[in-house]
Structure formats: structure tokens, C-alpha cells
Amino acid sequence: MKKQKLVVVGNGMAGIRTLEELLKLAPERYEITVFGAEPYPNYNRILLSPVLAGEMTIQDITLNPLEWYREHDIRLHLGKHVEQIDRRRRKVFTPDGIEVDYDRLLLATGSTPFMPPIPGIDLPGVISYRDIRDTDEMITTARSHRHAVVIGGGLLGLEAANGLRQRGMEVTVVHLMPWLMERQLDQAAADMLRISLEARGLKFLLEMQTEALIRGESGRVVALRFKDGHEIPADLVVVAAGIRPNTALAESARLYCNRGIVVNDTMQTYDPRIYAVGECVAHRGTVYGLVAPLFEQARVCANHLAHFGISRYTGTLTSTKLKVTGIDLFSAGDFGGGEGTDEIVLHDPSGGVYKKLVVKNDTLIGAVLYGDTADGAWYFKLVKEASNIREIRDHLMFGQNASLGDAVTAGQANVATMPDEAEVCGCNGVCKGAIVKAIRTHGLLTLEDVRKTTKASSSCGSCSGRVEQILAATVGSAYSPAGSRDKAVCGCTEHSHGDVREAIRSQHLLSISEVMQTLAWQTPNGCASCRPALNYYLISTWPGEAKDDPQSRFINERAHANIQKDGTYSVVPRMWGGLTTPSELRAIADVADKYQVPTVKMTGGARVDLLGIRKDDLPRVWADLGRAGMVSGHAYGKSLRTVKTCVGAEHCRFGTQRSMAMGVKLERMLFGMWSPHKVKLAVSGCPRNCAEAGIKDVGVIGVDSGYELHVAGNGGIKTEVAQFLCKVKNDDEVMEYAAAFLQLYREEGYYLERTCHYVARVGLDHVKAAVVDDPLRRRELHERLLFALQDYEDPWQQAVEQPARRREYEVIPLHEVTA
Amino acid sequence: MSDWLRVCLLTDIPPLGSRVAASTQGDIAIFRTADDRVFALHDSCPHKGGPLSQGIVHGETVTCPLHGWKVGLADGQAVAPDQGCARRFAVRLEGDTVWLQLA
């Protein structure tokens, strides 16, 4: 296939990010030419502030060195303005005579600083703050001059002012509005910010209008005069009065512009061969000046340039973080308040902490944080996902950890003050310094990138929050939060777990290949992340119809035993309700002797674990256990694990209900139940709750009048106390309600989502509506679960009896000829 | 060079799956892709020695079951940013039969 020609005008973060995404999807499709007006390869513009403040260098912030362009055969024209597009002949031109043909054109021309029409605005010494050249000029001027004035007290102006102050200048910030950063902050937070910047030696003149910039004898600017006539000295004036989308080229080509270059949801302009991304575009009437939206646009644009054509950009909710070292400030969403909103405010002026949360109809719609921004990412996620916060409203202000306080998350609040050698990821032994270094040297911008490169939070994930905070603190507003509702299943697709589940249900898809075809999977047979998820969605949605694919199961669920670090397996025979007999124990002891099992211990779920069994011994071990009447304990699977019980009314002098019998019944009903993640139950015979039902997916607690049902507890990564669902009268109701809850989770849960995460996502009210309030729906759920489980056979027995299944366990001997 | 050894029939290996062959040079994982090509690697992940044969096969790559490293079937190289290499063995398909050569 002959390559098509793609020309990119704009060598900044949006344009190059689009190319990176495109090269991932379709590396061979285009012959690519890039024009950049600046004489540098793509760099991280957001990090100019740390460069100005002397905390980083230009090399540190380069994202794509020249070798990157060479490696990908990209023809790069640096320091070249494209001044004309001929849309009819599909060519672009530069003033010095370069002309290039295109099949597709991508405009990523960014924005230009707004220079207000003040007399003297064109004097030497008056600059904007946009690129490396401006930054260099500020650094040079700071060496030889004293007085700097920054016009504009917004994000960029303050970062410039702080940098110049760090470089030793006397800095005055002039701002037209009554408080700083009025688009991101309310007055209370802005005043605290002003006071702390004043303590660093910055001066502020608010509600002041500049009349003119005054020229000195040297020809340079020397002073600034206000409307009221008074003057202040100024050897350097930095104008940070906002930015304007750079639409000049697009307008000259008669592309429709309205504030920015107008694009649709696939990032196409009114000429379908011409795409546009970044600060130069207007999408649904919004022009974005922050980086997170640019990256989302880049992904969508690349998807269409690669001819996949399956993703849309629908706008981005943005958050702001000021990159001034030592000042923590965060804002997101709509914090203005107004009709129908409540403001939850914490204000400690001396302590330097201010937090305002704006709540409307049980959702968080905006947040302003000053002084302590540790929970910024969490609040932003709540705003973005419009999560229902009713249950957590009373401690919402105290942050994500207010209700946890366990060892795992303690200290999360203070990533900024953590020393570099502090361990962040306990699974992979990654310390804070290593994460920060990786983020800086590789220009990482997403949690996923950090995971891949450093391994931090890539195993159990419990430190994801901390890693995200380190990322946010290191790259500032370039950080794009993960975990949004629409996050793709994995790199093989653009579709989210919710989309995939919905498609399987509504289009009656029955096999993995059908799903991949229908949803245009981007890899031929998926990966180790998406295939197990698809397999689960298929068999749970269409039990009896969809075909289980063993090759798409994680090894534990394919071999029906737990893989250990040395490649041996562990076997956990099922003991219904935790009850056993002397003959079962004898059979287990015999197996341990016969196969020389090195370790025998009790599992967390109170079952016997036989560790260190060779894979090829597994079928024989199972055959022996099977003869004693034992079946698979599923201790390896995303499935029913165990029902833990106390002795209950059968023996206990306090027992009110027969918890052992109840546990046995539940475990037998649920045997062989596959689920999005593992499922654990417990039954206690009285409220003393010796079976620890409070931290189980379904916890049943006997009381004199019946049982209390608790759901969505978790004793693992994130200790979570189960929530009270309802009270029921008898054993049959326990079975029906528990089954209905678990079936709802099976039908709606995302793969690898525990019940606690599932309920946090959909809300307990949603669960109650289906399981408690609607008897018909509850019975249907119960019946669907029983239907799915009706033909389940013990996988151990199948492996013993069916030669085709047994093959999985057999090693092939090689007949080597000995010389 | 040593002789080619008969391993098994192609149909003895599930598509997108593998079998383990025991040799004097340790266990060897024989993989079969969706389009019926076969590859052989030393059954030991360059990361922490996990049995690659037990991983999920996708495209021309296997994901180690222990910690999720991805290893290329054709070259034995770990997929970036991970670094490391599993030893390769020559393997070929003749008719329905899989042959392997110990290095």
C-alpha cells in the first residue's frame, strides 16, 4: 500500500502527542512531515515555570529529542512558519519557498499570548511568557536588571512572577481584578495565596489598570504608569494577560473559526481532510488551555487518522494546580456555588489551610483547595464521575482516608513532604525518588505510564492513589487523572468495561472472536488483560450458550490450582462451611505423604492448603482427594472462595442461629460460581460475629429474630467494613437475598472489581432497589444465578476423567540421543 | 548442531496455548499461535524465572503468569520497558509434527 502524506503544522505537545498515538496504532500508514515555528524539538511547555525558577533545565523538559523524529522517519522543519494552505491542491507553503503536499493535514498551532493595546507594549523589555525564548530572556534580564512587573495575576503570571523572584528580581504583579486567579479560585483562597506569595517577597497591585509603558533613555522600558497617574519602575514587563487560539493560518485558508478553529467530535475541521487539536481549537464552543484535554483530543484524532474511526471526543473537565514550589493549590469544576448548591468550607487562616467543596444534588460539582491538596485527585475524580456522595458526605471534607486510617494508606496525605527514599510501592519496592526521577526523565504523564516504567502500583494497586499524587505534584496540570468512568479495558481497545458488557448483552455476542470483531479490537487476539475479562463477561451474560475459552483464563483458573513463585501449585480441597471429617483429614494427610507436599497450612478462609505440588501430579492428587469425596475449593479463582462460619447455635452457648448449617447451605448453592473477582462469605451465629462477617463480600449475622445481611466488605488491600443491606427472617431468605446480590454483582460488576468497589461505583441504593425493594427482581436474579450454576461440574473431576483436559497437565518427554 | 527431536503433533498444543517439554537442558515451553505457528523458549521468565508456558499467549507474545512481564515468542526478548531475554530454541513444523532442536 502506498503511504499517504500527513503534514502537521505545530511541533508542540498536542501535535506530537497525536503523532505518538498514531504511530502506536498505524506506524506504516503515513509519510509524516512536521513544521515547528520554534527552533526546538517538542518540549513540555508546562514545565517552563520550573525552568524559569531554576529547578529544571531545558534538557530536562525535552519530550521528543531529534533522534525520535529520525527513528520514525518524520521529516522535521524547525523554525519554519507555514503561512499558506492551498486546500484545493492540498499543499502547504512557507515564506521561504518550502511546499509540501498532503492527504491529511493536522493543525496544532497552539495559542498566542494576548498583548493588550497599551502604549509602549512593543518596547524592548516587554515580553510575553509562552516559549523557551521568553524564558531565556527573563533569565538573562534577571541577571542584569532589578525591577520586574508582571501584568496579569492568573496561573501563568504568578508562575512567571515566582520564577523571576527566585532569580533575584523585585517583582510586582499588577492585576485588573479584585483577587488573583479569579477563574480558578474564590476570594478566600486567593487571599491566602496572595499572603503567602507576599511572604516570599512578591508585591501585588490589585484592581489596577495600566495606562502606558514608559520608554527610558536606553530605548528599553523603564516604568509603568497606571490610570490613576502613579508610576512604578519596570526594567522588565511580562505580559500574562491571557492567551488567544492561534487561528491565523486556518482563517487565511477560510476554515471556519469561532474563537478557535471549530472542530467536531472526531477533531475534524469543516474541511474533512484537515484535523486540528490543542489550544487552537474550539470544540463544542470551548477552548482549552490546559494539557489534559489536549491529550484526550490527540488520542481521538490519532484514532481517526489511523482509520479506526471508533472514538469521539466529548469534552474534558479540567482541574488546575499551581506550579510554585511550596504552595499547594488545587481547583476543579464549578466552585462558584449558586442556586441549589451547598458549600462545605474549612478555613484556617493561620494554619494556611482552606478547603471549599461545592455539592449539588448529592454530587460534588467543584472544589478549591489551598494549603493541603493531597485529596485533590480524589475530589477531581468524584467531580468527573459525578459520583453519589450521600453516604460519605459527613466526612467528605476530611478526604479519602478519613474513614480508613489503616496501615496501608496512612501517610498518603503527605506525598509532598515524603523523603525521596520513602517506599511508595510495597509490592515492587519502588521509592518516591525513583518515581519522580522516572517521571522527569521519561516525561511520563499518566498513571499507566508510571506503572509501566517503574512498576509502582502495578501489582496490588493499593498505592495507586499515592503514585497519582506524586505524579500530580511532579508534573502539575499536565497530569491527567486515571480511573475515569470511560477508561478503556486495556491498550487493545478504546471501549470501556461498561461498553463491552453492554455490547455483549445487547448484541447477543457469544465468543471472544465475535466481541473482538464487533467492537473492532486493535490487536489480533487481545492480551492477558482483556481476554480473561471478555471470557468472564461472555460466560456470565450467556450461561450455557457462550463458550468458555480455557486459553483466555489466567493459569490458576485454567489449571484449577494456585500457581506459586517456583512454578509449583497449591491445592485447597473444599470443606463445606469449614466442616470436615476424620476420613477427609486422613485422605488429605495421605496425599501430603504420598506426593511429599512440603507445606501444609490453613488458609485465610480457614481451609487446608497443600503447597508445593508439581503440575503433573495435580490430576493424581485430585483423584485421591476425589475418592474421599472432596471437590475443588476454587481457592485459585475469581469465584466463590469460602463461606466461613462460627460454631453457632449448634454448640455455642451464645448462638442464636445455626450458622454452620447456614454456611454449608450457602456454600453448596454457590459452588462453581465465577464472578468478576473473588467472593468470600461468612456466617456468624450471633452479633459477637466470630466468623468476621463484617469484612466479607456477603456477611450474614444471626440475631434472635433472624439474620442481618451485610454486603461489600473487604479484608484485603483496602479494608472496608461491610454495609448493612437488610434484615431477613429465615434461612430461605438468606439464600435468596445473598444469591440476588451476588447475581447483580456478576451481571454488573467490571472484571477485577471486588464487591466493595462495585457497590462504591453504583451506590448501595441501587443495590437495595434491586435486591431488597423489588421482590420480583430479587427472585429473577436468584433464578438466573441458579440457572447459571445448575450444570456446573467439579473441574477436578473433569481433569481426572477426560483425557483432553488432562493433557494440560502432562509434560512431553524429549527423547534425546546420547552421543 | 544437534539432531532435530520429535516433540508432538501440532494438535497436541492448543491454539494460543503451549506445552512443556522436559529436556536435559531444562523445561522448554512450546507455544502455538492463533495462526498455527510454533515457537520454543526456555520455560523461565527473564524476570524471576516464572514458567512462561503457563502464561496467556496473544499475538506473538506471552504474558508471564507470575508478574505479568510480556516476552516475545520469536526473539525471547522482554517487551519494553522491561529488559531481559529468555533462551530460544529452534523449532519447526513438518506436516503435523513439531520438531525441536536443542542448541
Beta bridge partners of A32: A6
Position A527: which residue type?
A: C
Determine the distance in angstroms separating the CA of A670 from the nearest CA of chain B, rounded to an integer: 27
Cα gap B3→B6, rounded to integer Å? 10
> Phi and psi for A552 in degrees, rounded to 5?
-100, 15
Cα gap A396→A344, rounded to integer Å? 9
Number of Cβ within 10 Å of residue A541's Cβ equals 18
Kindly determine whether residue A816 and residue B65, on different chains, have CB atoms separated by under 8 Å.
Answer: no
User: What is the reported pLDDT for A478?
Assistant: 64
Cα gap A205→A224, rounded to integer Å? 12
And the C-alpha cell for A812? 512431553
Cα gap A146→A141, rounded to integer Å? 8
Q: Which residues of A525-633 form beta strands (DSSP E)?
A: 562-563, 569-571, 599-602, 608-613
Cα gap B83→B75, rounded to integer Å? 13
Kindly determine whether residue A812 and residue B7, on different chains, have CB atoms separated by under 8 Å.
Answer: yes
Q: Judging by DSSP bridges, how do beta strands A260-263 and A257-258 pair with one another?
A: antiparallel
Q: What is the largest CA-CA distance in chain B?
A: 38
Q: Smallest Cβ distance to B34: which of A525, A527, A816?
A: A525
Determine the distance in angstroms separating the CA of B67 from the nearest CA of chain A, rounded to an integer: 8
Q: Judging by DSSP bridges, how do beta strands A243-245 and A236-239 pair with one another?
A: unpaired
Count contacts between A and B (CB, < 8 Å). Answer: 90
Residue (of A789, A796, A775) closest to A726 by Cα position: A775
Position A136: which residue type?
A: D
Chain B CB contacts of A814 below 8 Å: 5, 7, 21-23, 28, 100, 102
In SS3 terms, A27-68 reads as CCCEEEEEEECCCCCCECHHHHHHHHCCCCCHHHHECCCHHH
Chain A CB contacts of B58 below 8 Å: 523-528, 531
Cα gap B38→B40, rounded to integer Å? 7
Cα gap A759→A778, rounded to integer Å? 17
Q: Smallest Cβ distance to A525: which of B8, B28, B59?
A: B59
Cα gap A168→A161, rounded to integer Å? 11
Number of Cβ within 10 Å of residue A598's Cβ equals 11
User: What is the reported pLDDT for A781?
Assistant: 97
Q: Are A376 and A369 in contact (CB under 8 A)?
A: yes
Q: Judging by DSSP bridges, how do beta strands A723-728 and B4-9 pair with one another?
A: unpaired
The CA-CA-CA angle for residues A547, A551, A553, to 5°, reads: 85
For A707, half-sphere exposure in the C-beta direction (CA atoms, 13 angstrom radius) is: 29
For A332, half-sphere exposure in the C-beta direction (CA atoms, 13 angstrom radius) is: 27
Position A181: which residue type?
A: M
Nearest chain A residue to B99 by CA: give it. Answer: A814
Chain B CB contacts of A528 below 8 Å: 55-56, 58, 63, 68, 70
Most B CBs within 10 Å, among A522, A525, A566, to test the B interface: A525
Position A683: which residue type?
A: V
pLDDT digits (tens, 9 = 90+) for A574-593: 999 999 999 999 999 999 99
User: What is the reported pLDDT for A29?
Assistant: 93
Q: Smallest Cβ distance to A811: which of B20, B48, B57?
A: B20
Nearest chain B residue to A442 by CA: give it. Answer: B81
**Which helix (DSSP H) or strand (DSSP E) does residue A771 occupy?**
helix A764-771
Kindly determine whether residue B34 and residue A526, on different chains, have CB atoms separated by under 8 Å.
Answer: no
> What is the torsional sign of CA A522, A277, A268, A96?
negative
Number of Cβ within 10 Å of residue B80's Cβ equals 9
Residue (of A464, A459, A457, A529) closest to A500 by Cα position: A529
> What is the torsional sign of CA A646, A651, A656, A662?
positive
User: What is the reported pLDDT for A404?
Assistant: 43
For chain B, report the end-to-end CA distance as a whole number of angstroms: 7
A interface with B, Cβ–Cβ < 8 A, is 452-453, 458-459, 523-528, 531-532, 550-552, 554-556, 559, 563, 565-567, 807, 810-817
Determine the distance in angstroms separating the CA of A468 from the nearest CA of chain B, rounded to an integer: 20
User: What is the reported pLDDT for A408?
Assistant: 36
User: What is the reported pLDDT for A398?
Assistant: 86
User: What is the reported pLDDT for A795?
Assistant: 93
Cα gap A71→B96, rounded to integer Å? 41
Cα gap A621→A610, rounded to integer Å? 10
Q: Judging by DSSP bridges, how do beta strands A608-613 and A679-684 pair with one another?
A: unpaired
User: How far does CA A32 lie from the centroid of its chain?
Assistant: 31
User: What is the reported pLDDT for A401?
Assistant: 67
Chain A CB contacts of B10 below 8 Å: none
Residue with cell 515457537: B39
Cα gap A682→A270, rounded to integer Å? 61
Cα gap A816→B14, rounded to integer Å? 24
Q: Are A781 and A767 in contact (CB under 8 A)?
A: no
User: What is the reported pLDDT for A480?
Assistant: 61
ipTM topping 0.85: yes
Q: Are A738 and A755 in contact (CB under 8 A)?
A: no
H helices then E strands: how many in chain A? Answer: 26, 38
- For residues A121, A125, A128, A130, the Cα torsion angle rounded to the nearest 10 degrees is 160
Beta bridge partners of A231: A225
Cα gap A551→B56, rounded to integer Å? 7
Kindly determine whether residue A555 and residue B65, on different chains, have CB atoms separated by under 8 Å.
Answer: yes
Cα gap B69→A459, rounded to integer Å? 12
At a CB cut-off of 8 Å and minimum separation 6, what does A748 contact? A501, A758, A762
> What is the torsional sign of CA A364, A369, A372, A374?
positive
Kindly determine whether residue A551 and residue B57, on different chains, have CB atoms separated by under 8 Å.
Answer: yes
Kindly determine whether residue A524 and residue B59, on different chains, have CB atoms separated by under 8 Å.
Answer: yes
And the C-alpha cell for A361? 444534588
Cα gap A35→A635, rounded to integer Å? 58
Calculate helix-pair angle for A464-475, A432-442, nearest 10 degrees. Answer: 50
> What is the torsional sign of CA A122, A123, A125, A126?
negative
Query: Strand order of the sheet with strand A231-233?
Result: A210-215, A221-226, A231-233
**Assessment of whether the complete model's pTM goes beyond 0.80:** no
Cα gap A679→A769, rounded to integer Å? 22
Determine the distance in angstroms separating the CA of A815 from the nearest CA of chain B, rounded to an integer: 7
Kindly determine whether residue B56 and residue A452, on different chains, have CB atoms separated by under 8 Å.
Answer: no
Residue B75, pLDDT above cutoff 50:
yes
Kindly determine whether residue A812 and residue B56, on different chains, have CB atoms separated by under 8 Å.
Answer: no
User: What is the reported pLDDT for B61?
Assistant: 96
What is the mean predicted confidence (pLDDT) over B73-88? Answer: 92
Q: Judging by DSSP bridges, how do beta strands A569-571 and A104-107 pair with one another?
A: unpaired
Burial state string for A275-294 with b = 16 or more CB within 10 A and e = fewer than 16:
bbbbbbbbbeeebbbbbbbb
Q: Are A32 and A19 in contact (CB under 8 A)?
A: yes
Q: Judging by DSSP bridges, how do beta strands A640-645 and A608-613 pair with one another?
A: unpaired
Position A345: which residue type?
A: V
Cα gap A341→B32, rounded to integer Å? 60
Cα gap A550→A556, rounded to integer Å? 11
For chain A, report the end-to-end CA distance as a whole number of angstroms: 52
Kindly determine whether residue A525 and residue B17, on different chains, have CB atoms separated by under 8 Å.
Answer: no
For A79, half-sphere exposure in the C-beta direction (CA atoms, 13 angstrom radius) is: 4
- For residues A449, A450, A455, A457, the Cα torsion angle rounded to the nearest 10 degrees is -110
Radius of gyration (Cα) for chain A, nearest Å?
Answer: 31
Q: Are B81 and A452 in contact (CB under 8 A)?
A: yes
Cα gap B87→B73, rounded to integer Å? 10
User: How far does CA A459 lie from the centroid of its chain?
Assistant: 15
Residue (of B93, B43, B40) closest to B65 by Cα position: B43
Cα gap A16→A411, rounded to integer Å? 37
Counting as low any pLDDT under 50, the low residues of chain A are 403-413, 483-485, 819
